[in-house]
Amino acid sequence: MMTALDISASALNAQRTRMDVIAGNIANAFSTRQEDGTIEPFRRRLVALASGAPDGGPGVRVDEVALDESPFAERYQPGHPDARVDGPRAGYVRYPNVSISMEYVDALEAARAYEANVAMMNVSKGMVQQALRLFA
């Protein structure tokens, strides 16, 4: 019975990590510079989940947080401080490869998965409580 709770707990941790990454993607959807000030847009992060809990048992775990290698969006904004100054793309600003609508859909999916695992934990807890009542 405790295994069911452990599996659901591992899924809750994985979905929480997913939500953290999605929140970071949304927060940086318009960041055209890196933390050190380099003019390079934020690159979207993706969470890869794998079967098996971190302790080796059944469940799910975060395998890696990878960078999305899709191309950056470009907009013509010659007055922007991060606009390119020379070359054929002069006046264009590169923006992160983050789609707010896609992140919103991913957040809804992660939230529903989280809710489903909370419901599973409640069912498991109810079964344990009923078993304890039988033995008491």
Domain of 45 in residue numbering reads as 2-135
Residue 54's pLDDT band, with cuts at 50, 70 and 90, is confident
Neighbours of 78 (CB within 10 A): 11
Q: What pLDDT score was predicted for residue 53?
A: 79
Q: What pLDDT score was predicted for residue 2?
A: 66
- pLDDT at position 1 over 60: no
- For residues 13 and 32, the answer to whether their CB atoms sit within 8 Å is no
- pLDDT at position 3 over 60: yes
pTM over 0.85: yes
Say which residue the tokens 């929140």 belong to. 23
What average pLDDT does this structure show over 67-80? Answer: 96
What average pLDDT does this structure show over 88-105? Answer: 96
What secondary structure does DSSP assign to the chain, as a single string? -HHHHHHHHHHHHHHHHHHHHHHHHHHTTT--S-TTS-S-----EEEEEEES-TTSSSSEEEEEEEE--SPPEEEE-TTSTTS--SSTTTTEEEE-S--HHHHHHHHHHHHHHHHHHHHHHHHHHHHHHHHHHHH-
Overall number of domains in the chain: 1
Residue 131's pLDDT band, with cuts at 50, 70 and 90, is confident
